[in-house]
Amino acid sequence: MPVALSASAKKLIDRPNFAHLATLMPDGSPLSTPVWIGRDGDRIVISISDFSLKGKNTKKDPRVSISIVDFENPYHEVQIRGRVVERRPDPELVIMDPIAHKYTGKPFTMRGNPQRIALLIEVEKEKYTEIPIKHTPPK
């Protein structure tokens, strides 16, 4: 059953924070990959090549896990579990270009991939955490 994203999770998703997408390999082992991320309401959007490992894995098993750490304060983070509910073709990068703009200020540069798709992920569980620690790594 899908759940609504919290306002805090939406803020992390809407800023240019990298996410880590975990999918399941055929033998059940996890594959975690850094990805750009977008949002369509309460659904998460991740653009990939359909023939990538992420694409193959989510075809066989739609369950995914996503973690996002805030670039500005790495002690603010969200963990999400969900499932891919739609695989939308995006060869013209209509979905990918706005996501690329968020991260680079430009349209996506790697064009011409007819296998480009967008995964639409419904959230089943979300846990947002703020730890009261000041990030002060030694110099």
Cα separation, 120 vs 95, in Å, equals 11
pLDDT score, position 114? 78
pLDDT score, position 84? 98
Report the predicted TM-score, pTM, of the whole model to 2 decimal places.
Answer: 0.92
pLDDT score, position 87? 97
Cα separation, 109 vs 100, in Å, equals 9
**95 is in which domain, residue-wise?**
7-130
User: Would you give the distance in Å from CA 51 to the centre of its chain?
Assistant: 17
Cα separation, 38 vs 14, in Å, equals 7
Is 19 a member of any domain?
Answer: yes
Is 2 a member of any domain?
Answer: no
Is 139 a member of any domain?
Answer: no
Is 138 a member of any domain?
Answer: no
Is 27 a member of any domain?
Answer: yes
pLDDT score, position 136? 85
DSSP alpha helix (H) spans, 76-138: 96-104
CATH number at residue 61: 2.30.110.10
Closest CA to 113 of 66, 61, 55: 55
pLDDT score, position 20? 98
Angle at 73 between CA 72 and CA 75, to 5 degrees: 155
First to last CA, the chain: 46
What's the structural domain count of the chain? 1
Task: Find residue 88's DSSP bridge partners.
Answer: 118
Cα separation, 27 vs 71, in Å, equals 33
Q: State the 10-residue block means of pLDDT for the chain, 139 residues long.
A: 94 97 97 97 96 95 97 95 97 93 91 87 96 88
